[in-house]
Amino acid sequence: MKIVVLKFGGTSVGTIDRIKKVANIITSYVKKRFKVIVVSSAMSGTTNDLIKKSKHISNNFNSSEYDVLVSVGEQISCSLIAGRLNHMGYKARSWMSWQIPILTEGKHTSSRISKINKKKILDYLKNGGIPVITGFQGINNLSRITTLGRGGSDASAIMCAKFFNAKKCVIFTDVEGVYTTDPNNFKNAKKIKVISYEEMLEMASLGAKVMQPHSIQDARLSRIEIDVKSSFVNRKGTLITKKKNVFRNRTITGLTSTKNDAKLTLVGVKDKPGVAASVFKPLYQSYINVDMVVQTSSSKNRETDITFTIKADDLLKTTKLIKKNKKIKYRDLIVNKNVSKVSIIGVGMVTTPGVTYRMFKALANKGINILVISTSEIKISVLINKKNIKKALSVLHKEFRLNS
């Protein structure tokens, strides 16, 4: 069977008119003789509304019941899509994750798909049916519903493509593909035609919101090519694929920026083995993600400064943990919430000298001061003052010729 997995995001199924358009997209693939598996998110706004309801009930809503509650949104959208396809004369039905079943492991609210039982869906496909499957969810070994985290419908689609050996996986969203940077921050952002898994993974983890990072990693490990395209206009989108399938004449593929960072500096920490571990262990135990880290070299009095960044949402909890940590001593704690991270990403920088210099020089020419730096093989990130985000994106977009 020539199977295709089509995933529709919340904005794509956000209204009845949009669901009717989604049904037309689905049938266009049927007419091309594909066996179509549909994965749907909840209608836009539905999940947020359900979360608000849980907060009105309790400030500490039980996580297993939370998963039961927020999984309802996908059930609604899948039923509406299947109903429209039936109206158009096609054989279709909605499938809840537990009916297949889609098996998950891990804790509630952030589980991962471990297995999909294929028999029922394959039988339905062979009999000419279009299964419309709830994204974002599965069931664990206790037969309780679990969810995959926000944006988890992408992971559902990619794992369906893996287990059903699909020819392609198409992610339909409200944008026409992956852009060189966020079009909301920079109007001259350009659509990228082809991008590697590695570049897309870096962009997603550094702030690009097109796809969930672990969904891209799942696709990379399973070698599943992904088309990202708009459900609103019939244009080619962005293909996410292997590095060897990517050919371009640019060193840098894209830029990202964040708006929710905070920088903390511990001044005058005793410089001795294990001090950094003592600082970060309580944060790890509290599930606080630490991003950029810089430790200065020791001065004569054997003291060092440790600077790191976290999400601003974790700032209050982090400062409390540091202040009550009896295993570390420091002279001062400096906090800065007016910071943002700007990153350049591209597999081309591995073989191209001078990229770091060009980035730093371009920012310096615009009077943008760099606070913290971190690098990997295919990305360079700098922490700057939040007010300079748009200026930084503009100058770097131009410097690395992403405008053309």
Mean pLDDT of successive 10-residue stretches along the chain, which has 404 residues: 96 97 98 97 96 95 97 97 98 97 96 96 98 97 94 93 95 92 85 92 80 86 92 93 78 90 93 90 92 81 89 94 92 94 90 92 97 92 95 94 82
DSSP structural state of residue 299 = -
| Dihedral sign for Cα atoms in the order 220, 224, 229, 232 | negative
CA 85 to chain centroid: 30
Strands (E) in 188-299, as ranges, are 194-196, 226-230, 238-241, 254-257, 261-270, 293-295
Q: Which CATH class is domain 3-174?
A: alpha beta
- Does the pTM surpass 0.95? The reply is no
Strand partners, 373: 382
Strand partners, 342: 257, 382
Q: What is the four-CA torsion angle of 188, 194, 197, 200, rounded to 10 degrees?
A: 10
**pLDDT of 299:** 65
Using alpha carbons, list the distances in angstroms from residue 10 to 13, 211, 274. Answer: 5, 13, 46
Q: What is the four-CA torsion angle of 367, 369, 374, 378, rounded to 10 degrees?
A: -10
DSSP structural state of residue 169 = E
CB 133 within 8 A of CB 92: no
